[in-house]
């Protein structure tokens, strides 16, 4: 019962911070310009600092040996979820404007803006390294498969994506660069001066509140009025919130990944849809309202699923 209440309080705290972002939108204190600043600050500055402090403070050189095996779990989980989502979309016979949006919502989770604050709330700062490993898998598929799926669902002509351009897009992202820098320092057994680590800690402490204010404002922007149980949305929620963590648990078991890493990965697999999908849908002429509905309902869904999941993991 104690685990359930702790998990419930962690999720409730997440929603309280999101509610502040929502209210800021209602009051007009936060607008599109503020949202853009918060997003840029969190992704480009705070999260890279969070990677450095989280990894260097909680891992040592000997832990690097298992990182490759750990990285296989999110990739395998995402690939299997992609196959399940494609099969579900074909079975449901969704219209073209919703097909790619449905698949993208179902097979990818919001590991950064929701996953990082939630995992640190549930497991502490030592979860940061494992969150970022899962984030690598998600960002690779977001920038490749997800973009192509949403483009093909839209009315805007798809662009050509070269392999070099995709690799550049992925490996020039500040969170990935922060992770690479932290891993390199860990490998070389180098630690920055304590003054820098204190500086990085102050910046990294802003990740959770700002990321959740951002998500709350996104809900305000999308509009509560968009909450309608459209065709396919219940199936998407089942895949996103129930099947995905089950697939991840199986992948962890088959690859011998346990302990904190397993728990963080399973929670990361059970998160709401990637908020970027709604932006993509609007940009490419796909069904933006459908994506908005899925985003809002999946955010509400973790209030029920995550506490239950945490009980099962203990």
Can you give the residue ranges of every domain in the chain? 2-308
Q: Which tens digits make up the pLDDT trace of 247-287? A: 999 999 999 998 999 999 999 999 999 878 887 887 788 88
For Cα atoms 107, 111, 115, give the angle at the middle one, nearest 5 degrees.
Answer: 125
Asked whether residue 165 carries a pLDDT value surpassing 80, the answer given is no
Mean pLDDT rounded to a whole number for the chain: 86
| In the chain, % of residues over pLDDT 90 | 32
CATH of the structural domain 2-308, one choice from 2.30.110.10, 3.30.465.10, 1.20.1530.20, 1.20.210.10: 1.20.1530.20
26 contacts: CB under 8 Å, gap ≥ 6: 220
Which of left, alpha, beta for 93 (phi over 0: left; psi -120 to 50: alpha)?
A: left
DSSP assignments along 76-98, one per residue: HHHHHHHHHHHHHHHHHT--HHH
Q: Note the pLDDT of residue 237.
A: 96
What band does 212 get if pLDDT is binned at 50, 70 and 90?
confident
């Amino acid at each position: 019962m104690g685990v359930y209440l702790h998990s419930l309080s962690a999720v409730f705290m997440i929603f309280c911070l999101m509610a502040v972002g929502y209210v800021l939108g209602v009051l007009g204190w936060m607008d599109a310009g503020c949202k853009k600043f918060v997003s840029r600050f969190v992704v480009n500055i705070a999260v890279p600092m969070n990677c450095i402090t989280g990894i260097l403070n909680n891992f040592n050189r000997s832990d690097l040996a298992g990182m490759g095996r750990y990285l296989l779990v999110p990739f395998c989980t995402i690939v299997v979820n992609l196959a399940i989502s494609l099969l579900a979309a074909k079975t449901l016979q969704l219209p073209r404007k919703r097909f790619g949006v449905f698949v993208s919502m179902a097979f990818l989770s919001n590991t950064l803006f929701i996953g990082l604050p939630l995992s640190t709330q549930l497991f502490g700062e030592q979860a940061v390294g494992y969150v970022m490993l899962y984030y690598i898998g998600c960002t690779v598929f977001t920038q490749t498969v997800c973009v192509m799926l949403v483009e093909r669902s839209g009315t805007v002509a798809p662009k050509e994506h070269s392999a070099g351009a995709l690799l550049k897009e992925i490996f020039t992202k500040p969170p990935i660069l922060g992770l690479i820098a932290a891993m390199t320092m860990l490998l070389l057994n180098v630690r920055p001066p304590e003054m820098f680590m204190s500086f990085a800690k102050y910046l990294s402490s802003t990740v959770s509140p700002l990321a959740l204010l951002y998500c709350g404002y996104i809900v305000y922007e999308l509009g509560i009025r968009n909450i309608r149980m459209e065709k396919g949305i219940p199936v998407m929620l089942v895949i996103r919130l129930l099947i995905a963590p089950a697939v991840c648990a199986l992948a962890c078991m088959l690859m011998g990944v346990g302990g904190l890493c397993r728990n963080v990965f399973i929670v990361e697999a059970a998160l709401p849809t990637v908020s970027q999908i709604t932006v993509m849908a609007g940009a490419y002429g796909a069904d933006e309202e459908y994506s908005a509905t899925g985003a809002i309902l999946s955010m509400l869904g973790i209030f029920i699923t995550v506490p239950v999941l945490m009980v099962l993991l203990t």
